[in-house]
Structure 1
């Protein structure tokens, strides 16, 4: 019976590692494609728009996030003895840095779409609409303040935990269970991640309200057709909905770890939570590519070239 349970556990662990590796490949290809296309357009045109600046920075931060999470998982799972207090501190700080910019740049992208597409007669909204770049810059500056506070609180909790643990003469990191401190640190992460989530949710709700008001206005003039503004609203809503859905799944993975923090000792549980978390930076990049006409056309061109290249090599060969 124990052998069967061990075999089942090994099977699920291998399956989760395969899924994790696929997410890493998809995420790197998607984010790498976004960064490469925007960088090439920047070099070609000698200028880059605000939305492409956000997309390039977002893609770069997510590549760093994917590789960091994957590397940290490969180091910590087979070698739990390496998880000393200093190592836990380094991993949490690095995760906080790369995840912060990934989340907040995606939030800024949602704010950009909202300010560019939504239509309100409110004077405050019109002020922000005509100063989109300033609004995005201020959002990033505010996020930096929250970032430093986030880092400070996380390090404070870890230092307190280390000092309390070291008071015990028989203390050993290899024998000490760090699950409790993980639970406390994850709770702090949830608090600070809820701020960009709230901003994204507000943008989504305001876009819906703007779309409803616009459609109601258009029904008085045009019947049975969709104008450009309505289509822009719908595309922006699709992008924001996908972002919120993936963001919610990401939130749930952290909540699960807080709720069942005693299971953090189990490699299979940790691996499962990481698979859920990695879906956010991996899948969202694909959504951004498919949701943008120029990006989608560039992706299809590259895909067509890759498909036709072997046939071309065969026909042009000796």
Structure 2
């Protein structure tokens, strides 16, 4: 029987799911239709489409897990349901995080302006850098999946104990093993975090310097190019803060699950994890001119359709 807290959890999860699906489906449809029309796919559009597709799958898996946890948490903790669901959620979250990182690195090399020889050398080989990052993510995915498999195998095998925390306290060897696995997973997740953080911060610094130079050379403070760069800086910082929030939320959730497995409020730590896949698509839409213009035209057509045709004058 679902309690009032379970109902609140499910309602918030469904709202996050709907918001995320609207933005990511829109990105996927626009980029796919544009690629079919032009018979050519650009690197940024390809990464955006892959990110939107993986986020859609992530939202579906999160909704499935949330419904299980909200309606029947005991079914979720069984070995046949909990293990594949946890593994699938971790894999798709890993893919989404790395695609977001690759997109940040791509925009850094595409937009930033630095005269350092290393930056120019990497910028000339930008596509190779992205491919290398994706290859690295696949190798890390294999390594992390083995760790997650071991972690879920141990935890789900001992969930029959009345108190998992007390059981692990008494079994020091098992506790140390789980702690080491969790630490290795946290260290592995630092790689995309620092790559994304570094690329976005350097991109922001480049935009600040370029905006300052354009402001000094322009005729007035309302120059269109200066305003465009200010808007780009806001988009970069919004995406950066959202990514940082997602990283620390996922790390906190991982350690809370490890410390307090049987807590009845444990399901609510999944809600902050849904913020990044639900909201990052709208930041990408606002920061991409093609997506933004298409969204404005779509909203205008919807508004005109709702209002109906103007009545003809008498």
Q: What range is the shorter-chain TM-score in?
A: 0.7 to 0.9
Contact 2:58 2:93 in 1 (8 A): yes
Please list every run of 5 or more consecutive structure 2 residues that lacks an aligned counterpart in the other structure.
Answer: 169-174
**Could you say which residue in structure 2 is the equivalent of 1:248?**
244
Moved more, 73-82 or 306-315: 306-315
**Could you say which residue in structure 1 is the equivalent of 2:171?**
none
Contact 1:186 1:254 in 2 (8 A): no
Is 1:101 the counterpart of 2:83? The answer is no
- Cα distance, 1:283 vs structure 2: 0.6
**Could you say which residue in structure 1 is the equivalent of 2:172?**
none
Distance across 1 between alignment mates of 2:144 and 2:183: 11
Per-residue deviation, residues 11-51 of structure 1 (Å, max 9, x unmatched): 44433322211110010011000000000001111111110
**Could you say which residue in structure 2 is the equivalent of 1:90?**
84
Q: CA RMSD in A?
A: 3.1
Distance across 2 between alignment mates of 1:286 and 1:234: 18
**Could you say which residue in structure 2 is the equivalent of 1:145?**
139
User: CA distance change for structure 1 residues 27 and 263 in 2, over 3 Å: closer, same or farther?
Assistant: same
**Could you say which residue in structure 1 is the equivalent of 2:66?**
73
Moved more, 190-199 or 82-91: 82-91
Contact 2:253 2:270 in 1 (8 A): no
Distance across 2 between alignment mates of 1:80 and 1:16: 13
**Could you say which residue in structure 2 is the equivalent of 1:280?**
276
Distance across 2 between alignment mates of 1:31 and 1:45: 21
Distance across 2 between alignment mates of 1:224 and 1:288: 29
**Could you say which residue in structure 2 is the equivalent of 1:25?**
18
Distance across 2 between alignment mates of 1:131 and 1:230: 29
Distance across 1 between alignment mates of 2:304 and 2:215: 47
- Cα distance, 1:313 vs structure 2: 7.6
Contact 2:204 2:233 in 1 (8 A): yes
**Could you say which residue in structure 1 is the equivalent of 2:37?**
44
User: CA distance change for structure 1 residues 113 and 191 in 2, over 3 Å: closer, same or farther?
Assistant: same
User: CA distance change for structure 1 residues 221 and 287 in 2, over 3 Å: closer, same or farther?
Assistant: closer
| TM-score between the two structures when normalised by the length of structure 2 | 0.82
Moved more, 47-56 or 114-123: 114-123
Contact 1:89 1:158 in 2 (8 A): yes
| TM-score between the two structures when normalised by the length of structure 1 | 0.81
**What SS does the aligned partner of 2:23 have?**
helix
Contact 1:62 1:281 in 2 (8 A): yes
- Cα distance, 1:260 vs structure 2: 4.0
Contact 1:114 1:207 in 2 (8 A): yes
Distance across 2 between alignment mates of 1:247 and 1:136: 19
Count, aligned residues: 298
Distance across 1 between alignment mates of 2:310 and 2:6: 41
**What SS does the aligned partner of 2:279 have?**
helix
Distance across 2 between alignment mates of 1:103 and 1:150: 14
Please list every run of 5 or more consecutive structure 1 residues that lacks an aligned counterpart in the other structure.
Answer: 1-8, 166-172
Contact 1:246 1:280 in 2 (8 A): yes
**Could you say which residue in structure 2 is the equivalent of 1:268?**
265
